[in-house]
Amino acid sequence: MNVLFLTLSQVISDISSRGIYPDLLRKFAREGHNVYIVCPFERRFKKATCLSVIGNIHILAVKTLNITKTNIVEKGIGTIIIEYQFRKAIKKYLPAVNIELLLYSTPPITFNSLIRYLKRKYSTRTYLLLKDIFPQNAVDLGMFCRRSIIYRYFRRKERELYSLSDNIGCMSPANVDFILKENPFIPKESVEVCPNSIEIQQISELQGKGDIISKYSISKDALIFIYSGNMGKPQGIDFLLEVLASNRNRKDVYFFIVGGGTEYYKLDKWFRLAKPSNATLIPNVIKKVSDSLIAASEVGLIFLDRRFTIPNYPSRLLSYLEMRIPVLMAIDKTTDIGKIAQENGYGFWVESGNLEAFNKTLNYMIEKREELAIMGERGYQYLLENYTVDKAYKIIISHFI
């Protein structure tokens, strides 16, 4: 079967990298399918549109304007014309390919016309991997209101996208319920849980825990917590700062804060002013380094803005489960990521903004330190049973059997 994946992510251009999309697409390739990936090559990289082939994986990197890390004018124009650029490149480089499955992930609302064109041309089945619910997530964060012209425009685009999708794979049961409730025109049978998933690998060449403890002068008695991932508005970074500030004088805990994003500057400023002895801020690092830090830690942290009315399900959870560490989450009441973790014995959650509840749970995990390894093993087993690419692949491919 010929599978075409549309994405705005440039990371996918390295198909050997680890992540929810490269892992899933490699699974399709291993099962004998021909995989075609169309992704952007932003102009700052000074590379022309090109088609590369690795086995039965074909990567069409299309030269575009800068749509990330640029000014709002170029981003806006680039976002508008990227659909035309993708369509032109597909016609030129993949003219003889008969697409049988069209995959795409949110937010792809700028691809509606392209999806409609490909669906009509090839009579292909379309599958949406729903990862973000836009524009409601932007409303939740106060970027614009539901009465605005911007909201109405993007909401119309969102409905069009759902109508174009033969199947919609959601990250969790709460996502399924939300989508069907807010969009009653969608047939119930077309919406299903297709969770974030990864390829389980034997992790090797990680820096030892002892080396990391020594490098950062961490007390051997301190319980090590790690926050690893994006640092943007959705993560509610202000509450993470409250947590760090309220625990900065403790010697029985240590925090690794690893990643980057639009709110990174807030953390950087706080660390420079507060100079905490029990926390380290580390900017974006290669995955092997972040994996080493996670493996050396005992608890993984997940934060979400408390204002969310949509059920987010951060993929960062999978990295923690893979490294066999339990999770402590400060999240909104809508998502079910915390409930699932608590019900299955691999984590705890509190509402974001409730500092007393967070620190009470943190203290409980310190007191029950000997149980954390057991919780981590439960999480790893849950990962094996629910969040592998084998599972996601079977869910998607079942529509062709």
pLDDT beyond 90 at 9: no
Question: Stretch 162-189: mean pLDDT, rounded?
Answer: 97
Most confident segment among 6-20, 52-66, 354-368: 354-368
pLDDT beyond 70 at 204: no
Provide the pLDDT for residue 198.
Answer: 96
pLDDT beyond 70 at 310: yes
| Weakest-pLDDT range from 141-155, 186-200, 338-352 | 141-155
DSSP secondary structure letter of residue 285: -
Domain 2-194 has CATH 3.40.50.2000: yes
pLDDT beyond 60 at 205: no
The residues facing 85 across adjacent strands are none
d(CA 397, CA 382): 22
Provide the pLDDT for residue 78.
Answer: 84
- DSSP assignments along 2-16, one per residue: EEEEE-S-SGGGSTT
Provide the pLDDT for residue 288.
Answer: 80
d(CA 138, CA 129): 19
Peptide bond into 107 cis (omega under 30): yes
| Nearest alpha carbon to residue 11 among 228, 193, 207, 230 | 230
Rounded to the nearest integer, the mean pLDDT of the chain is 93
Sign for the pseudo-dihedral over CA of 359, 363, 364, 368: positive
pLDDT beyond 80 at 41: yes
d(CA 60, CA 40): 8
Kindly list the domain boundaries of the chain, sorted by start residue: 2-194, 209-386
146-165 pLDDT per residue, tens = 999 989 998 999 999 999 99
Question: Stretch 286-315: mean pLDDT, rounded?
Answer: 93
Contact predicate 296/325, CB 8 Å: no
| Weakest-pLDDT range from 78-87, 102-111, 208-217, 380-389 | 102-111
Domains 2-194 and 209-386 share a fold: yes
| Weakest-pLDDT range from 12-21, 134-143, 173-182, 191-200 | 12-21
Query: How many other C-beta atoms can be found within 10 angstroms of the C-beta atom of residue 222?
Result: 17
- DSSP assignments along 105-160, one per residue: ESS-GGGHHHHHHHHHHHT-EEEEEE---TTHHHHHTTSS-TTSHHHHHHHHHHHH
pLDDT beyond 90 at 298: yes
d(CA 108, CA 126): 13
Provide the pLDDT for residue 44.
Answer: 86
* Share of residues in the chain with pLDDT > 70 (%): 97
Provide the pLDDT for residue 79.
Answer: 80
Instruction: Provide the b/e sequence for 120-158 (b: ≥16 CB within 10 Å).
Output: eebebbbbbbbbbbbbbbbbbeeeeeeeeeebeebbebb
pLDDT beyond 90 at 209: no
d(CA 305, CA 232): 10
What is the reported pTM? 0.92
Query: How many other C-beta atoms can be found within 10 angstroms of the C-beta atom of residue 8?
Result: 20
Q: How do beta strands 125-130 and 101-105 pair?
A: parallel
Question: Stretch 288-302: mean pLDDT, rounded?
Answer: 93
Domain 209-386 has CATH 3.30.70.1230: no
